[in-house]
Structure formats: structure tokens, C-alpha cells
Amino acid sequence: LVESWGLAPDFVVGHSVGELVAAYVAGVFSLEDACVLVAARGRLMQALPEGGAMVSLKAAEAEVLPYLAGYEDRVSVAAVNGPAATVISGEESAVLAVAEAVGVKSKRLSVSHAFHSPLMEGMLAEFAEVACRIGYSAPRLAIVSNVTGELVGEEVCSPEYWVRHVRQAVRFGDGVGFLEGQGVTRYVEIGPAGVLSAMGQECVTGPAAFVPLLRKDRDEVEALLAGVAQVHAHGGEVDWEGVFA
């Protein structure tokens, strides 16, 4: 819908499962194969033993890493969401011990499992089997990787990449920093709320517009049209005849 209104992205970036959406939009998978991969990912994660914890820490990754010493097989960094926003994930007791040791403001996340942690390793082999059965094509858009925080190359067309993507940290903050370095000043979030827009604003040093197209507290049509208008006001090209068709 958004592309039909002339809002064509120069880059796409997601967050965790959102990167599979970004890869689909960029043409890496067919819609059918993207659904197979997302469904398998969720099914296999949910089949793992429950337990574990995820805690968001108001600290830089470099501040957190020393406290993981001795816990490497039980806890890992699950996400780097900004310069002072690091999520750790793994066995509950170990995660809570690390969070307490770091000693900064923290928030326990409401999750069923400890995603992007050592506790995910039990699903990787079966997920790899599914990833090997689907088709891949070279992306038509530039994809910024959660795994590296930079542009992803041919590896995005390999099953191995998507298996690593399940286990490794989500480097969202690095990805937004990379985009700022490429001169990006407009970020449009297509998702159920404005969570990534709020995080993204913490990742840039210069002026930029972060526009979520859906908001939890607003009517969908109103939020969408207001968002598209905001992109227009920040210099983005919008095909208004297409919008009003």
C-alpha cells in the first residue's frame, strides 16, 4: 500500500523477526516461503522448554559485556537497541544476576522464552532444515542486517544466515547508526505501533524524522494518513493522486 503511494524505500531494516519481513519486501523470499520461514521460527521457539528471562538495561553494550564473563553458556546480549539500551537474555537466575551486577536502570521484558540467547540453540538444527527447503533471490532493495548492523550481501540468500539471525544479537542500534552515516534522514515504521521509531530516535546524532504509520492509541486510517503527511512535510515524495484514488 505504502509503495503504491510513491513511498519507495532506499533501505529496509527490521528488528528480529521484522528482518524477515524486510527481506520479503526486498524480494529475498516469495510471500509463501516467507510465511513458511516465519511460522517455523515461531513454532520451534514456542516448542522449546519455557523459562528464561530477558532484561533491558540502560547501558551501552561495552558496559554490559564484562559482566557476562563466566555466564557465556547461559546468558548473552540479545539486542543492542541504542547507545544506552542493551537487552540480555538467557537462564533466568543468570540473567537476573548479571542485571543486578551491572547496576543500572533495568526492565524485565514480558516474554515466553529467552530469545536470541543460548536457550535457542535447541531449535537451530530443525530451523536450518526448513531454511534449506525454501527459495532465495538477490534483494532488489538494500537490507541493513541485524546480525552485523551494516548492509547485508549475498549471505542473506543462504539458510545459514537466517539460522545465525535467530541466535545472535539484534544490532538494531548499529543499523540505524549505519543508515545515518549513509545520509538517511527519514525513517518510516510499518508495524503495529511506534516502538522502533522511539528506539531509533535514540540512535541518531543529527536531525531525523521517525514516522510510525500505526499507533496503538489512534484510528488506523487516521494514523496512516497523518504519517504519510508527516513524511511529505519532511521532504519525502508522496503520490497524492495515488493516496486519494
Q: What confidence score (pLDDT) does residue 116 get?
A: 97
The C-alpha atoms of residue 190 and residue 188 are separated, in whole angstroms, by 6
Average pLDDT of span 116-132: 97
Answer yes or no: is pLDDT of 50 > 90. Answer: no
Across the range 34-61, mean pLDDT stands at 96
Q: What percent of the chain has pLDDT over 90?
A: 98
Q: pLDDT value at position 63?
A: 98
CB 35 within 8 A of CB 106: no
**Residue 171: CB partners within 8 Å, gap ≥ 6?**
79, 80, 145, 146, 147, 148, 149
Query: What is the dihedral sign for C-alpha 218, 202, 146, 96?
Result: negative
pTM for the model: 0.94
pLDDT digits (tens, 9 = 90+) for 162-173: 999 999 999 999
Q: How far apart are CA 61 and CA 84, in angstroms?
A: 8
Model confidence at 70, pLDDT cuts 50, 70, 90, reads very high
Chain-wide mean pLDDT for the chain?
96
Q: What is the per-residue pLDDT for 129?
A: 98
* Mean pLDDT on 209-227: 96
Where do the domains of the chain lie, and which CATH numbers do they carry?
3-30+136-244 (3.40.366.10), 51-111 (3.30.70.250)
Report pLDDT for 142.
98
Residue the block writes with cell 504519510: 228
Report CA torsion sign: 151, 60, 198, 94: positive
pLDDT score of 33:
98
* Confidence band for 43, pLDDT divided at 50, 70 and 90: very high
pLDDT at residue number 12? 98
DSSP labels for the chain?
-TGGGT---SEEE-STHHHHHHHHHTTSS-HHHHHHHHHHHHHHHHHSPSB-EEEEESS-HHHHGGGGTT-TTTEEEEEEEETTEEEEEESHHHHHHHHHHHTS-EEE---SB-TTSGGGGGGHHHHHHHHHHS-----SSEEE-TTTSSB--GGGGSHHHHHHHHHS-B-HHHHHHHHHHTT--EEEE-SSSSHHHHHHHTT-SS--EEEES--TTS-HHHHHHHHHHHHHHTT----HHHHH-
> What pLDDT, on a 0 to 100 scale, did the predictor assign at position 163?
97
77-to-95, 114, 175 alpha-carbon distances in Å: 10, 11, 16
Reported confidence tier of residue 51, pLDDT bands at 50, 70, 90 = confident
CA–CA distance, 141 with 27 (Å, rounded to integer): 8
